[in-house]
Structure 1
């Protein structure tokens, strides 16, 4: 799940830097940008965040439907769905490989649809896996828990390595994503594709070795 959080950081960097200030995983950011853009703030898009928000919701709904009745934790269906997220990243990489792809609003919106739907699907599956404080797509609640339960807050025991790891990894993913966009837009989607498929395979093998 922490690896998927890192992958989300890459995806959000790709969306913001290569798809006209659109977040593909952080829907809070999209809603804020959409609100300011709708108010007429210069330079802020409306169509892109709206497309991303709608696509994320469709992906999350599909993930919820696919995991209906499934037990919490990692199952064979989890492996398939996380693998599907990786395939969607690969499809986005293929679209990015089209010459001048992001200069075409139509192609850019298609890439946004694919990436945001993948993030919505991933978020829904991660919710079913139910690793505390690792939603894989946002870290606001994780930061809240880390601070509120700290020695300076409530002083409660907490899984601080996991929480801190999620925060650091999504930031590291964003940094890597920015570098990858600078190198090649298609590579910026291909790297999380490989990483996500690796997570699916690893999760499947670990569950087979240590069944819940």
Structure 2
């Protein structure tokens, strides 16, 4: 889940810097951008964030429906869903490599919507697996817990390594994604795809997959 948190940072850098200020994983950011754009703030998109919100929810709904009858934790269903996510992202990367750069409109919206959909799927599967404080797509609640449960906040103990790692990794992922954009938009998507497929393989091998409770 921490590896996928890093991957989300990469994907969000691709969306925000390469696809006209759209987050593919952090839907809070899209809601804020959309609100400011609707209010008339200059230079902010409407179509991209709106599409990303819709397709993210669609992907999350698919994940929720598939996982509804399945036991909490890593299962064969999680392997299949994460595998599908990785393969879709790999296909998107190949399309972007073939195109040689940022796709023109309306194809950029198709890429945005597809990336947001698979990130919604990822978020739903991560939620079902249930690693506390690691949702893979946002770290606001993780930062809150890290601060509130710290000694400064009067706490006496917390899973500080997991929380701090999630915060640092999404930060590093965004930085790596921004650097990869200097080489082309496809590289960040390709890296996210490879990470997702590696996580799928490791999770399937170590998670004692099963089909039902």
Q: Given that residues 8 and 25 in structure 2 are in contact (C-alpha distance below 8 angstroms), is that contact kept between their aligned partners in structure 1?
A: yes
Between the aligned partners of 1:192 and 1:82, the Cα distance in structure 2 is: 12
Match of 2:40 in 1: 40
CA RMSD of aligned residues (A): 1.5
Residue 110 (str. 1) matches residue 110 (str. 2) = yes
Between the aligned partners of 1:66 and 1:18, the Cα distance in structure 2 is: 32
Match of 1:84 in 2: 84
Residue 151 (str. 1) matches residue 151 (str. 2) = yes
Q: CA deviation at 1:197?
A: 0.3
Q: CA deviation at 1:155?
A: 1.2
Q: CA deviation at 1:112?
A: 0.6
TM-aligned CA distance change 1:85 to 1:202, over 3 Å: same
SS in structure 2 of the partner of residue 154 of structure 1 = coil
Q: TM-score, normalised by structure 1?
A: 0.95
Match of 2:8 in 1: 8
Match of 2:131 in 1: 131
Between the aligned partners of 1:87 and 1:4, the Cα distance in structure 2 is: 15
Cα deviation code 1:102-130 (max 9, x no counterpart): 35121100101110001000000000000
Q: CA deviation at 1:97?
A: 2.2
Match of 1:169 in 2: 169
Q: CA deviation at 1:101?
A: 5.6
Cα deviation code 1:56-99 (max 9, x no counterpart): 00000000011011111100111111111111211221232243
Q: TM-score, normalised by structure 2?
A: 0.95
Q: CA deviation at 1:40?
A: 1.2
Between the aligned partners of 2:57 and 2:39, the Cα distance in structure 1 is: 23
Match of 1:19 in 2: 19
Query: Size of the alignment, in residue pairs?
Result: 210
Match of 1:55 in 2: 55
Between the aligned partners of 1:199 and 1:181, the Cα distance in structure 2 is: 23
Q: Given that residues 95 and 107 in structure 1 are in contact (C-alpha distance below 8 angstroms), is that contact kept between their aligned partners in structure 2?
A: no
Q: Given that residues 101 and 185 in structure 2 are in contact (C-alpha distance below 8 angstroms), is that contact kept between their aligned partners in structure 1?
A: no
Which deviates further from its counterpart, 46-55 or 84-93? 84-93
> Segments of 4+ in structure 1 off by > 6 A?
none
Between the aligned partners of 1:93 and 1:180, the Cα distance in structure 2 is: 13
Structure 2: 5+ residue runs without aligned partners? Answer: none
Match of 1:121 in 2: 121
